[in-house]
Amino acid sequence: MPAFHEIYEEMQEALKAQKEIGTIIEKYIKRISEVTGRNTVAYYSGFMSAGNKGYRTSIIDEDMNGFMSMFYGIDKRKGLDLILHTPGGDVCATEAIGNYIIKMFGHDIRIIVPQLAMSGGTVWSCMGKVIIMGKESSIGPIDPQIGGLPAHGIISEFNRIMKEVKQDPQSLPVWKEILSKYYPTLLWNCQHALDLSKEIASKWLAYNMFAKDKQKEDKIEKIIGVLNSSSNTLTHNRHFDYEYAKNLGLKVEQLEKDQDLQDAVLSLHHALMITFSNNSNLMKIMVNNTGKPYILATPGNTNATK
């Protein structure tokens, strides 16, 4: 496997020669399918790059167009390896796109996480029959956020306030300022967001990862009970590695066990991360093993991978 700096130099030379660096990305993703004999789609967000702080770096309904493009004309019988690098995003978009992916590939889906698949990315990981993670890989909590705050935390805080005020009515003035920020239906929205996140992830785990497991209900309840509760995960940005995911009960495999696959996946990962770092206008890149790209960028930068 070429090292990060070697891929960087390869891409810089391509830029100097006015060649499309997209051809380098295509080379590495095709290599993955040569190793596995399966369809490969990479879904990468530029959320870690400077300037990429907009909502379009998250999972959004617009991404459905990208997945439709990725799946057009490929042999669905070969299954799907979906490579994810994402901070997550809109829960309804996550559900709709995930359902579409399942309709296309059924039970033959593997999720590969080279570095980060957080929040909605972790929910998508629940679609797979297995999650492939390396030593540097992380998934995260799936508890939804309301206005940037954990829905579970808002409900827990409100319940705590109600308990303290009931025990000591004179404490109400202390909590009054916090309660004044609770808009109508806030608690209702929080509970429904938690229920929806639980429903989606549980449904997909039951359909695929634990489809034939006689103890699937107990296993899924344990997994969702941790991932969907901020009282367990403590912070929405918490990173869970391979060992944590395995101990939680998820079916995970180590990327390092297949050296050829590891080399191919990390080469693609490096190439994509370098592409984002070279152009902060890039919001998202999707590409499959046929070399077909789908790019989201700020206006006027649709050819950002050239």
Per-residue pLDDT of the chain (306 residues; tens, 9 = 90+): 677 778 878 777 766 655 566 788 999 999 999 999 999 999 999 999 866 567 789 999 999 999 999 999 999 999 999 999 999 999 999 999 999 999 999 999 999 999 999 999 999 999 999 999 999 999 999 988 887 778 888 888 899 999 999 999 999 998 988 888 888 899 999 999 899 999 999 999 999 999 999 999 999 999 999 999 887 788 888 999 999 999 999 999 999 999 999 999 999 999 999 999 888 888 999 999 998 899 988 765 544 444
Q: Can you give the pLDDT at residue 232? A: 79
Domain positions in the chain: 4-140+239-297
Q: Can you give the pLDDT at residue 303? A: 46
Which CATH code is given to the segment(s) 4-140+239-297? 3.90.226
Q: Can you give the pLDDT at residue 302? A: 45
Q: Can you give the pLDDT at residue 17? A: 58
Residue with tokens 């549980």, as numbered in its chain:
202
Q: Can you give the pLDDT at residue 117? A: 98
Q: Can you give the pLDDT at residue 269? A: 96
Q: Can you give the pLDDT at residue 16? A: 60
Q: Can you give the pLDDT at residue 267? A: 94
